[in-house]
Chain A
Amino acid sequence: MSLKVDRDGMAFTFKGGMLPMTVMELNSADPERIREQLAGKLSQSPAFFQHTPVVLNVERLDEPHLALERICAVCRGHKLLPVAVRGGADPVKQSAWALGLGWFPPQEASRPRSLEGVPAPQAEAADPALDEAEGEPAPAAAGTGGRIYRGTVRSGQQVTAPEGDLVVVGAVNAGAEVLAAGSVHVYGALRGRALAGIHGNPEAGIFCRELRAELLSVAGNYKRLEDIDPRLLGTAVQVRLEDDQLGITALE
Protein backbone atom coordinates (compact mmCIF):
# COMPACT_ATOMS: atom_id res chain seq x y z
CA MET A 1 0.00 0.00 0.00
CA SER A 2 2.63 2.53 1.04
CA LEU A 3 4.58 1.58 -2.04
CA LYS A 4 1.75 2.92 -4.15
CA VAL A 5 1.37 6.02 -2.00
CA ASP A 6 5.07 6.77 -2.44
CA ARG A 7 4.74 6.47 -6.19
CA ASP A 8 1.77 8.79 -6.26
CA GLY A 9 3.63 11.29 -4.09
CA MET A 10 6.48 11.60 -6.59
CA ALA A 11 6.21 14.45 -9.07
CA PHE A 12 8.42 12.63 -11.59
CA THR A 13 10.80 9.80 -12.16
CA PHE A 14 14.03 9.86 -14.15
CA LYS A 15 14.20 7.33 -16.94
CA GLY A 16 17.04 6.67 -19.33
CA GLY A 17 16.03 6.90 -22.97
CA MET A 18 17.49 6.64 -26.44
CA LEU A 19 15.74 8.92 -28.88
CA PRO A 20 16.52 9.24 -32.53
CA MET A 21 18.21 12.62 -32.96
CA THR A 22 19.29 14.50 -36.01
CA VAL A 23 22.84 15.77 -35.77
CA MET A 24 23.68 18.80 -37.88
CA GLU A 25 27.40 18.64 -38.49
CA LEU A 26 28.72 22.10 -39.24
CA ASN A 27 31.53 22.57 -41.71
CA SER A 28 31.20 26.30 -41.65
CA ALA A 29 30.46 28.72 -38.84
CA ASP A 30 29.18 31.35 -41.25
CA PRO A 31 25.47 31.85 -40.52
CA GLU A 32 24.86 33.17 -44.05
CA ARG A 33 26.27 30.06 -45.71
CA ILE A 34 24.19 27.90 -43.40
CA ARG A 35 21.11 29.92 -44.25
CA GLU A 36 21.62 29.50 -47.99
CA GLN A 37 22.09 25.75 -47.73
CA LEU A 38 19.11 25.35 -45.42
CA ALA A 39 16.89 27.25 -47.81
CA GLY A 40 17.87 24.81 -50.55
CA LYS A 41 17.13 21.79 -48.36
CA LEU A 42 13.82 23.24 -47.28
CA SER A 43 12.57 23.46 -50.85
CA GLN A 44 13.63 19.84 -51.50
CA SER A 45 11.98 18.24 -48.50
CA PRO A 46 9.69 20.54 -46.56
CA ALA A 47 8.33 17.60 -44.54
CA PHE A 48 11.62 17.23 -42.73
CA PHE A 49 11.58 20.76 -41.32
CA GLN A 50 8.76 20.45 -38.79
CA HIS A 51 10.30 21.85 -35.62
CA THR A 52 12.75 18.96 -35.83
CA PRO A 53 15.10 18.89 -32.82
CA VAL A 54 18.74 18.96 -33.87
CA VAL A 55 22.10 18.72 -32.15
CA LEU A 56 24.67 21.12 -33.61
CA ASN A 57 27.96 19.31 -33.97
CA VAL A 58 30.81 21.83 -34.11
CA GLU A 59 33.69 19.36 -33.73
CA ARG A 60 35.00 20.13 -37.19
CA LEU A 61 35.20 23.86 -36.59
CA ASP A 62 38.48 25.20 -35.29
CA GLU A 63 37.32 28.61 -34.17
CA PRO A 64 37.27 28.96 -30.37
CA HIS A 65 34.37 31.41 -30.59
CA LEU A 66 31.26 30.83 -32.66
CA ALA A 67 28.31 33.02 -33.51
CA LEU A 68 26.15 30.40 -31.87
CA GLU A 69 23.23 32.70 -31.26
CA ARG A 70 22.99 33.68 -34.93
CA ILE A 71 23.37 30.07 -36.10
CA CYS A 72 20.52 29.03 -33.79
CA ALA A 73 18.38 31.86 -35.09
CA VAL A 74 18.97 30.71 -38.68
CA CYS A 75 17.98 27.15 -37.71
CA ARG A 76 14.82 28.26 -35.95
CA GLY A 77 13.97 30.39 -38.96
CA HIS A 78 13.89 27.14 -40.96
CA LYS A 79 11.88 25.22 -38.36
CA LEU A 80 14.81 23.34 -36.91
CA LEU A 81 15.04 23.43 -33.11
CA PRO A 82 18.62 23.33 -31.81
CA VAL A 83 18.50 21.52 -28.46
CA ALA A 84 22.18 20.98 -27.79
CA VAL A 85 25.72 21.52 -29.04
CA ARG A 86 28.32 18.83 -29.35
CA GLY A 87 32.03 19.55 -29.20
CA GLY A 88 33.92 22.86 -29.35
CA ALA A 89 36.12 24.71 -26.92
CA ASP A 90 35.17 26.03 -23.51
CA PRO A 91 33.76 29.37 -24.76
CA VAL A 92 31.41 27.40 -27.04
CA LYS A 93 30.24 25.34 -24.09
CA GLN A 94 29.63 28.48 -22.03
CA SER A 95 27.68 30.23 -24.75
CA ALA A 96 25.59 27.08 -25.38
CA TRP A 97 24.60 27.04 -21.73
CA ALA A 98 23.91 30.76 -21.82
CA LEU A 99 21.50 30.12 -24.72
CA GLY A 100 19.71 27.42 -22.74
CA LEU A 101 21.17 24.60 -24.85
CA GLY A 102 22.73 21.40 -23.61
CA TRP A 103 26.38 20.57 -24.30
CA PHE A 104 27.80 17.16 -25.16
CA PRO A 105 31.50 16.26 -25.17
CA PRO A 106 32.93 15.57 -28.64
CA GLN A 107 32.79 12.10 -30.15
CA GLU A 108 35.96 10.06 -30.43
CA ALA A 109 38.01 11.49 -33.26
CA SER A 110 38.17 8.04 -34.80
CA ARG A 111 34.97 8.32 -36.77
CA PRO A 112 35.70 9.89 -40.10
CA ARG A 113 32.21 9.89 -41.48
CA SER A 114 31.91 11.73 -44.74
CA LEU A 115 28.33 12.80 -44.58
CA GLU A 116 28.22 15.03 -47.59
CA GLY A 117 28.47 13.21 -50.83
CA VAL A 118 26.63 10.08 -49.77
CA PRO A 119 24.76 9.21 -52.92
CA ALA A 120 21.06 9.23 -52.17
CA PRO A 121 19.53 5.96 -53.28
CA GLN A 122 17.30 6.51 -56.30
CA ALA A 123 17.79 10.25 -56.37
CA GLU A 124 14.12 11.03 -56.96
CA ALA A 125 12.44 8.91 -54.32
CA ALA A 126 14.91 9.38 -51.54
CA ASP A 127 15.12 12.36 -49.30
CA PRO A 128 18.67 13.65 -49.48
CA ALA A 129 18.33 15.85 -46.43
CA LEU A 130 17.44 12.86 -44.29
CA ASP A 131 20.24 10.74 -45.60
CA GLU A 132 22.79 13.37 -44.88
CA ALA A 133 21.38 14.28 -41.54
CA GLU A 134 21.75 10.73 -40.26
CA GLY A 135 24.80 9.80 -42.19
CA GLU A 136 23.17 6.49 -43.00
CA PRO A 137 24.39 4.70 -46.05
CA ALA A 138 21.88 3.26 -48.47
CA PRO A 139 19.77 0.56 -46.83
CA ALA A 140 21.19 -2.03 -49.19
CA ALA A 141 24.46 -1.78 -47.30
CA ALA A 142 23.19 -3.98 -44.50
CA GLY A 143 25.71 -5.86 -42.43
CA THR A 144 27.38 -2.64 -41.38
CA GLY A 145 25.98 -1.75 -37.96
CA GLY A 146 23.09 -4.20 -38.29
CA ARG A 147 22.04 -6.55 -35.55
CA ILE A 148 20.89 -10.18 -35.32
CA TYR A 149 18.75 -11.19 -32.34
CA ARG A 150 18.13 -14.89 -31.74
CA GLY A 151 15.19 -15.92 -29.58
CA THR A 152 11.76 -14.65 -28.73
CA VAL A 153 11.37 -10.90 -28.17
CA ARG A 154 8.95 -10.88 -25.25
CA SER A 155 6.26 -8.48 -24.10
CA GLY A 156 7.84 -5.35 -22.62
CA GLN A 157 11.19 -5.90 -24.32
CA GLN A 158 12.64 -3.55 -26.90
CA VAL A 159 15.29 -4.56 -29.41
CA THR A 160 16.90 -1.80 -31.44
CA ALA A 161 19.37 -1.64 -34.30
CA PRO A 162 20.29 2.05 -34.19
CA GLU A 163 22.28 1.86 -37.42
CA GLY A 164 21.37 -0.72 -40.02
CA ASP A 165 19.00 -3.65 -40.25
CA LEU A 166 17.55 -5.74 -37.45
CA VAL A 167 17.12 -9.47 -37.98
CA VAL A 168 15.07 -11.38 -35.41
CA VAL A 169 15.39 -15.16 -35.62
CA GLY A 170 12.30 -15.96 -33.57
CA ALA A 171 8.98 -14.38 -32.79
CA VAL A 172 8.20 -10.83 -31.68
CA ASN A 173 5.39 -11.17 -29.15
CA ALA A 174 2.52 -8.79 -28.42
CA GLY A 175 3.72 -5.88 -26.31
CA ALA A 176 7.29 -6.14 -27.61
CA GLU A 177 8.91 -3.55 -29.86
CA VAL A 178 11.58 -3.97 -32.54
CA LEU A 179 13.19 -0.91 -34.12
CA ALA A 180 15.81 -0.38 -36.78
CA ALA A 181 17.37 2.48 -38.68
CA GLY A 182 17.18 0.16 -41.66
CA SER A 183 14.81 -2.72 -42.30
CA VAL A 184 13.26 -5.14 -39.81
CA HIS A 185 13.27 -8.85 -40.67
CA VAL A 186 11.39 -11.27 -38.44
CA TYR A 187 11.83 -14.99 -39.09
CA GLY A 188 8.81 -15.92 -37.02
CA ALA A 189 5.49 -14.44 -36.01
CA LEU A 190 5.42 -10.66 -35.69
CA ARG A 191 2.82 -9.92 -33.01
CA GLY A 192 4.31 -6.79 -31.45
CA ARG A 193 5.33 -3.45 -32.91
CA ALA A 194 7.85 -3.12 -35.69
CA LEU A 195 9.36 0.23 -36.65
CA ALA A 196 11.73 0.41 -39.60
CA GLY A 197 13.60 3.47 -40.83
CA ILE A 198 13.41 5.15 -37.42
CA HIS A 199 15.76 7.91 -38.56
CA GLY A 200 13.56 8.59 -41.54
CA ASN A 201 14.93 6.22 -44.17
CA PRO A 202 11.97 5.76 -46.53
CA GLU A 203 13.64 2.85 -48.32
CA ALA A 204 13.50 0.65 -45.22
CA GLY A 205 11.01 -2.19 -45.06
CA ILE A 206 9.52 -4.75 -42.70
CA PHE A 207 9.56 -8.46 -43.56
CA CYS A 208 7.99 -11.22 -41.52
CA ARG A 209 6.94 -14.85 -41.73
CA GLU A 210 3.58 -14.37 -40.00
CA LEU A 211 1.92 -10.98 -39.76
CA ARG A 212 -0.01 -10.26 -36.55
CA ALA A 213 1.64 -6.92 -35.74
CA GLU A 214 0.11 -4.40 -33.37
CA LEU A 215 1.79 -1.62 -35.30
CA LEU A 216 3.89 -1.33 -38.43
CA SER A 217 5.87 1.80 -39.19
CA VAL A 218 8.30 2.80 -41.90
CA ALA A 219 9.96 6.22 -41.58
CA GLY A 220 7.17 7.42 -39.32
CA ASN A 221 4.29 6.27 -41.54
CA TYR A 222 2.37 3.71 -39.58
CA LYS A 223 -0.53 1.28 -39.70
CA ARG A 224 -2.28 -0.20 -36.69
CA LEU A 225 -3.51 -3.76 -36.55
CA GLU A 226 -7.00 -2.40 -37.15
CA ASP A 227 -5.90 -0.81 -40.42
CA ILE A 228 -4.41 -4.00 -41.83
CA ASP A 229 -6.39 -6.04 -44.34
CA PRO A 230 -7.53 -9.09 -42.30
CA ARG A 231 -6.78 -11.36 -45.25
CA LEU A 232 -3.08 -10.63 -44.80
CA LEU A 233 -3.02 -11.60 -41.12
CA GLY A 234 -1.08 -14.76 -40.46
CA THR A 235 0.71 -14.65 -43.81
CA ALA A 236 4.26 -13.86 -44.84
CA VAL A 237 4.46 -10.25 -46.01
CA GLN A 238 6.68 -7.35 -46.82
CA VAL A 239 5.88 -3.79 -45.85
CA ARG A 240 7.17 -0.86 -47.91
CA LEU A 241 6.59 2.81 -48.19
CA GLU A 242 4.90 3.69 -51.49
CA ASP A 243 3.92 7.32 -52.09
CA ASP A 244 3.89 8.06 -48.34
CA GLN A 245 1.55 5.11 -47.77
CA LEU A 246 2.45 1.80 -46.19
CA GLY A 247 1.96 -0.99 -48.68
CA ILE A 248 1.66 -4.53 -47.36
CA THR A 249 2.06 -7.31 -49.89
CA ALA A 250 2.27 -11.08 -49.66
CA LEU A 251 5.76 -12.51 -49.95
CA GLU A 252 4.82 -15.63 -51.86
Chain B
Amino acid sequence: MAKIIVVTSGKGGVGKTTSAAAIATGLALRGQKTAVIDFDVGLRNLDLIMGCERRVVYDLVNVIQGEAGLNQALIRDKRVDNLHILPASQTRDKDALTLEGVETVLNTLNKDFDYIVCDSPAGIERGAQLAMYFADEAIVVTNPEVSSVRDSDRILGLLASKTRRAERGEDPVREHLLITRYNPNRVDSGDMLNLEDIQEILAIDLVGLIPESEAVLRASNHGIPVTHDEASDAGQAYADTVARLLGEDVPLRFHEYQKKGLLSRMFGGGRR
Protein backbone atom coordinates (compact mmCIF):
# COMPACT_ATOMS: atom_id res chain seq x y z
CA MET B 1 0.00 0.00 0.00
CA ALA B 2 1.48 3.30 -1.06
CA LYS B 3 0.99 6.52 0.84
CA ILE B 4 -0.38 9.21 -1.45
CA ILE B 5 0.97 12.69 -0.69
CA VAL B 6 -0.31 15.76 -2.52
CA VAL B 7 1.91 18.84 -2.72
CA THR B 8 -0.44 21.78 -3.02
CA SER B 9 -0.79 25.49 -2.20
CA GLY B 10 -3.57 27.28 -4.03
CA LYS B 11 -1.22 30.05 -5.03
CA GLY B 12 1.16 29.66 -7.97
CA GLY B 13 4.89 30.16 -7.89
CA VAL B 14 5.41 29.30 -4.23
CA GLY B 15 7.54 26.23 -4.92
CA LYS B 16 5.13 23.29 -5.29
CA THR B 17 7.00 21.58 -8.13
CA THR B 18 10.42 22.28 -6.60
CA SER B 19 9.18 20.81 -3.32
CA ALA B 20 7.48 17.81 -4.95
CA ALA B 21 10.70 17.01 -6.83
CA ALA B 22 12.92 17.54 -3.79
CA ILE B 23 10.71 15.52 -1.43
CA ALA B 24 10.18 12.66 -3.90
CA THR B 25 13.95 12.54 -4.44
CA GLY B 26 14.56 12.63 -0.69
CA LEU B 27 12.11 9.77 -0.07
CA ALA B 28 13.78 7.68 -2.78
CA LEU B 29 17.24 8.43 -1.36
CA ARG B 30 15.96 7.09 1.95
CA GLY B 31 15.11 3.80 0.26
CA GLN B 32 11.40 4.38 -0.30
CA LYS B 33 10.12 3.37 -3.72
CA THR B 34 8.56 6.60 -4.92
CA ALA B 35 6.56 7.83 -7.91
CA VAL B 36 6.04 11.53 -8.51
CA ILE B 37 3.15 12.57 -10.76
CA ASP B 38 2.80 15.93 -12.50
CA PHE B 39 -0.90 16.93 -12.38
CA ASP B 40 -0.26 20.30 -14.03
CA VAL B 41 -1.61 19.23 -17.43
CA GLY B 42 -0.87 21.92 -20.01
CA LEU B 43 1.90 23.54 -17.95
CA ARG B 44 4.29 20.63 -17.60
CA ASN B 45 7.27 21.57 -15.42
CA LEU B 46 8.15 18.62 -13.21
CA ASP B 47 10.12 16.90 -15.99
CA LEU B 48 12.35 19.99 -16.28
CA ILE B 49 12.99 20.17 -12.54
CA MET B 50 13.71 16.44 -12.47
CA GLY B 51 15.96 16.75 -15.52
CA CYS B 52 14.14 14.13 -17.59
CA GLU B 53 12.47 16.34 -20.19
CA ARG B 54 14.34 14.70 -23.05
CA ARG B 55 13.06 11.27 -22.15
CA VAL B 56 9.30 11.99 -22.14
CA VAL B 57 7.40 9.84 -24.64
CA TYR B 58 4.03 9.21 -23.06
CA ASP B 59 2.33 11.13 -20.27
CA LEU B 60 -0.44 10.98 -17.68
CA VAL B 61 -3.15 11.92 -20.19
CA ASN B 62 -2.03 9.18 -22.61
CA VAL B 63 -2.32 6.66 -19.80
CA ILE B 64 -5.73 7.89 -18.66
CA GLN B 65 -7.08 7.81 -22.20
CA GLY B 66 -5.71 4.33 -22.80
CA GLU B 67 -3.19 5.35 -25.45
CA ALA B 68 -0.24 4.02 -23.47
CA GLY B 69 0.42 1.69 -20.59
CA LEU B 70 1.52 3.04 -17.23
CA ASN B 71 4.92 1.33 -17.51
CA GLN B 72 5.51 2.99 -20.88
CA ALA B 73 4.84 6.42 -19.42
CA LEU B 74 6.79 6.08 -16.16
CA ILE B 75 10.30 7.50 -16.46
CA ARG B 76 13.00 5.97 -14.27
CA ASP B 77 15.16 8.62 -12.62
CA LYS B 78 18.80 8.58 -13.72
CA ARG B 79 20.23 9.43 -10.30
CA VAL B 80 18.11 7.42 -7.85
CA ASP B 81 16.98 3.85 -8.53
CA ASN B 82 13.77 3.94 -6.53
CA LEU B 83 12.36 7.05 -8.18
CA HIS B 84 9.92 7.23 -11.09
CA ILE B 85 8.35 10.23 -12.77
CA LEU B 86 4.97 10.37 -14.50
CA PRO B 87 4.95 13.57 -16.55
CA ALA B 88 1.95 15.69 -17.47
CA SER B 89 0.88 16.45 -21.02
CA GLN B 90 1.90 19.82 -22.36
CA THR B 91 -0.51 19.87 -25.29
CA ARG B 92 -3.74 19.08 -23.43
CA ASP B 93 -5.66 20.77 -20.65
CA LYS B 94 -7.02 19.73 -17.29
CA ASP B 95 -10.32 18.57 -18.79
CA ALA B 96 -8.44 15.59 -20.19
CA LEU B 97 -8.17 14.21 -16.65
CA THR B 98 -11.01 12.13 -15.23
CA LEU B 99 -11.57 11.05 -11.65
CA GLU B 100 -11.87 7.40 -12.73
CA GLY B 101 -8.70 7.64 -14.82
CA VAL B 102 -6.70 9.15 -11.96
CA GLU B 103 -8.05 6.51 -9.60
CA THR B 104 -7.00 3.69 -11.95
CA VAL B 105 -3.48 5.11 -12.28
CA LEU B 106 -3.12 5.52 -8.51
CA ASN B 107 -4.52 2.04 -7.83
CA THR B 108 -1.99 0.52 -10.21
CA LEU B 109 0.94 2.45 -8.67
CA ASN B 110 -0.35 1.57 -5.21
CA LYS B 111 0.79 -2.05 -5.58
CA ASP B 112 4.40 -1.33 -6.47
CA PHE B 113 5.32 1.86 -4.62
CA ASP B 114 5.78 3.06 -1.04
CA TYR B 115 5.04 6.71 -1.78
CA ILE B 116 3.13 8.48 -4.54
CA VAL B 117 3.78 12.23 -4.62
CA CYS B 118 1.20 14.26 -6.55
CA ASP B 119 2.42 17.66 -7.77
CA SER B 120 -0.74 19.77 -7.85
CA PRO B 121 -1.34 22.65 -10.26
CA ALA B 122 -2.03 26.09 -8.79
CA GLY B 123 -5.60 27.19 -8.23
CA ILE B 124 -8.58 25.50 -6.61
CA GLU B 125 -10.24 24.21 -9.76
CA ARG B 126 -10.56 20.78 -11.29
CA GLY B 127 -6.85 20.05 -11.75
CA ALA B 128 -6.00 20.89 -8.15
CA GLN B 129 -9.04 19.02 -6.83
CA LEU B 130 -8.16 15.88 -8.81
CA ALA B 131 -4.59 16.02 -7.51
CA MET B 132 -5.77 16.13 -3.90
CA TYR B 133 -8.84 13.88 -4.12
CA PHE B 134 -7.18 10.54 -3.31
CA ALA B 135 -4.51 11.91 -0.96
CA ASP B 136 -3.67 10.40 2.43
CA GLU B 137 -1.42 13.29 3.38
CA ALA B 138 -1.04 16.84 2.09
CA ILE B 139 1.97 19.13 2.09
CA VAL B 140 0.72 22.70 1.92
CA VAL B 141 3.50 24.87 0.48
CA THR B 142 3.37 28.43 1.80
CA ASN B 143 5.57 31.49 1.31
CA PRO B 144 5.94 33.97 4.17
CA GLU B 145 3.53 36.50 2.69
CA VAL B 146 -0.14 37.22 3.35
CA SER B 147 -1.61 36.22 -0.02
CA SER B 148 0.12 32.85 0.06
CA VAL B 149 -1.07 32.22 3.61
CA ARG B 150 -4.66 33.05 2.69
CA ASP B 151 -4.58 30.74 -0.36
CA SER B 152 -3.11 27.95 1.76
CA ASP B 153 -5.95 28.48 4.22
CA ARG B 154 -8.42 28.08 1.36
CA ILE B 155 -6.75 24.87 0.22
CA LEU B 156 -6.89 23.49 3.76
CA GLY B 157 -10.64 24.05 3.68
CA LEU B 158 -10.88 22.06 0.44
CA LEU B 159 -8.71 19.26 1.85
CA ALA B 160 -11.20 18.95 4.69
CA SER B 161 -14.21 18.75 2.37
CA LYS B 162 -13.35 17.84 -1.23
CA THR B 163 -11.24 14.72 -0.79
CA ARG B 164 -12.20 11.05 -0.85
CA ARG B 165 -11.34 10.73 2.84
CA ALA B 166 -13.64 13.65 3.66
CA GLU B 167 -16.48 12.41 1.48
CA ARG B 168 -16.32 8.91 2.94
CA GLY B 169 -16.02 10.21 6.48
CA GLU B 170 -12.69 8.42 6.99
CA ASP B 171 -9.76 9.80 8.99
CA PRO B 172 -9.03 13.24 7.56
CA VAL B 173 -6.14 13.94 5.21
CA ARG B 174 -3.03 14.53 7.34
CA GLU B 175 -1.99 18.12 6.73
CA HIS B 176 1.61 19.34 6.87
CA LEU B 177 2.82 22.91 6.53
CA LEU B 178 5.94 23.48 4.43
CA ILE B 179 7.22 27.05 4.45
CA THR B 180 9.46 27.90 1.52
CA ARG B 181 11.52 30.96 0.58
CA TYR B 182 11.95 31.85 4.23
CA ASN B 183 14.49 34.59 4.76
CA PRO B 184 15.16 35.14 8.49
CA ASN B 185 16.86 38.47 7.82
CA ARG B 186 13.82 39.83 6.02
CA VAL B 187 11.53 38.40 8.69
CA ASP B 188 13.63 40.19 11.26
CA SER B 189 13.28 43.48 9.40
CA GLY B 190 9.51 42.99 9.12
CA ASP B 191 9.37 42.46 5.33
CA MET B 192 8.18 38.88 5.70
CA LEU B 193 5.67 37.14 7.93
CA ASN B 194 7.37 35.17 10.65
CA LEU B 195 7.03 31.46 11.28
CA GLU B 196 4.89 31.83 14.38
CA ASP B 197 2.34 34.08 12.64
CA ILE B 198 1.95 31.68 9.73
CA GLN B 199 1.53 28.73 12.06
CA GLU B 200 -0.97 30.60 14.18
CA ILE B 201 -3.17 31.40 11.19
CA LEU B 202 -3.00 28.02 9.47
CA ALA B 203 -3.03 25.98 12.69
CA ILE B 204 -1.39 22.85 11.27
CA ASP B 205 1.89 21.06 12.05
CA LEU B 206 5.07 22.33 10.46
CA VAL B 207 6.88 19.63 8.50
CA GLY B 208 9.66 21.79 7.13
CA LEU B 209 11.08 25.22 6.56
CA ILE B 210 13.14 25.86 3.44
CA PRO B 211 15.28 28.98 3.50
CA GLU B 212 15.41 31.30 0.52
CA SER B 213 18.47 30.03 -1.28
CA GLU B 214 20.39 30.43 -4.48
CA ALA B 215 20.76 26.67 -4.51
CA VAL B 216 17.06 26.27 -5.41
CA LEU B 217 17.22 28.30 -8.60
CA ARG B 218 20.50 26.65 -9.54
CA ALA B 219 18.96 23.21 -9.00
CA SER B 220 15.88 24.03 -11.08
CA ASN B 221 17.85 25.30 -14.01
CA HIS B 222 20.21 22.32 -13.96
CA GLY B 223 17.34 19.84 -13.64
CA ILE B 224 18.82 18.33 -10.48
CA PRO B 225 16.44 18.33 -7.47
CA VAL B 226 17.99 20.42 -4.70
CA THR B 227 18.02 17.45 -2.31
CA HIS B 228 21.08 16.22 -4.21
CA ASP B 229 22.93 19.43 -3.25
CA GLU B 230 23.81 18.17 0.21
CA ALA B 231 26.10 21.10 0.95
CA SER B 232 23.34 23.68 0.46
CA ASP B 233 21.03 24.95 3.18
CA ALA B 234 17.92 24.25 1.05
CA GLY B 235 19.11 20.72 0.27
CA GLN B 236 19.60 20.01 3.97
CA ALA B 237 16.24 21.58 4.83
CA TYR B 238 14.47 19.27 2.34
CA ALA B 239 16.34 16.27 3.76
CA ASP B 240 15.10 17.30 7.24
CA THR B 241 11.57 17.60 5.84
CA VAL B 242 11.71 14.09 4.40
CA ALA B 243 13.01 12.73 7.71
CA ARG B 244 10.04 14.32 9.51
CA LEU B 245 7.63 12.86 6.93
CA LEU B 246 9.13 9.45 7.76
CA GLY B 247 8.30 10.08 11.40
CA GLU B 248 11.71 11.18 12.71
CA ASP B 249 12.10 13.98 15.22
CA VAL B 250 14.44 16.51 13.64
CA PRO B 251 15.05 19.96 15.15
CA LEU B 252 14.17 22.98 13.05
CA ARG B 253 17.05 24.77 11.30
CA PHE B 254 17.55 27.90 9.18
CA HIS B 255 14.75 29.86 10.85
CA GLU B 256 16.84 32.18 12.99
CA TYR B 257 18.44 35.43 12.02
CA GLN B 258 22.20 34.90 11.80
CA LYS B 259 24.36 37.95 12.31
CA LYS B 260 27.46 37.41 10.28
CA GLY B 261 30.45 37.16 12.56
CA LEU B 262 33.84 38.63 11.81
CA LEU B 263 35.37 35.31 10.74
CA SER B 264 32.56 34.33 8.40
CA ARG B 265 32.66 37.80 6.86
CA MET B 266 36.38 37.44 6.25
CA PHE B 267 36.20 33.93 4.87
CA GLY B 268 32.88 34.12 3.04
CA GLY B 269 30.88 31.88 5.40
CA GLY B 270 30.35 28.90 3.10
CA ARG B 271 27.81 28.30 0.36
CA ARG B 272 24.30 29.56 0.52
Interface set of A (CB-CB < 8 Å, partner B): 1-3, 152, 154-157, 170-171, 173-176, 189, 191
What's the nearest-Cβ distance from chain A to residue B73, in Å? Answer: 23
* Chain B residues near A156 (CB-CB < 8 A): 124, 153-154, 157-158
Query: How would you classify the secondary structure of chain B's contact residues: helix, strand, loop or mixed?
Result: helix
Complex: A189 Cα to B126 Cα, angstroms: 31
* Interface pair A155/B153, CB less than 8 Å apart: yes
Among B93, B160, B200, point to the contact of A1 (Cβ < 8 A). B93
22 contacts between A and B (CB under 8 A): A1-B42, A2-B93, A3-B95, A3-B126, A152-B203, A154-B154, A154-B156, A154-B157, A155-B150, A155-B154, A155-B157, A156-B158, A157-B157, A171-B201, A171-B203, A173-B150, A173-B201, A174-B153, A174-B201, A176-B153, A189-B200, A191-B201
The A/B interface has a contact count, at CB < 8 Å, of: 42
Q: Which residues does chain A contribute within 8 Å of B124, judged by CB atoms?
A: 156
A175 CB contact (under 8 Å) in B42, B126, B150: B150
User: Closest CB-CB distance, A160 to chain B, in whole Å?
Assistant: 15
Q: In this assembly, does B125 line the interface, its C-beta being within 8 Å of a C-beta of chain A?
A: yes
Interface: B176 (CB within 8 A): no
Q: Which of B158-216 contact A (CB under 8 A)?
A: 158, 160, 200-201, 203
Considering the complex, give the chain B residue whose CB is closest to the CB of A171.
Answer: B203
Q: Known contacts A3-B125, A171-B203: does B94 contact A154 (CB below 8 Å)?
A: no
The 4 closest A-B pairs by CB, nearest first: A154-B157, A155-B153, A155-B154, A156-B154
New contact pairs (9) apart from A154-B153, A173-B201, A189-B200, CB-CB < 8 Å: A1-B93, A3-B126, A154-B157, A154-B160, A155-B154, A155-B157, A156-B124, A156-B153, A156-B157
Docked Cα-Cα span, A145 to B153, in Å, equals 29
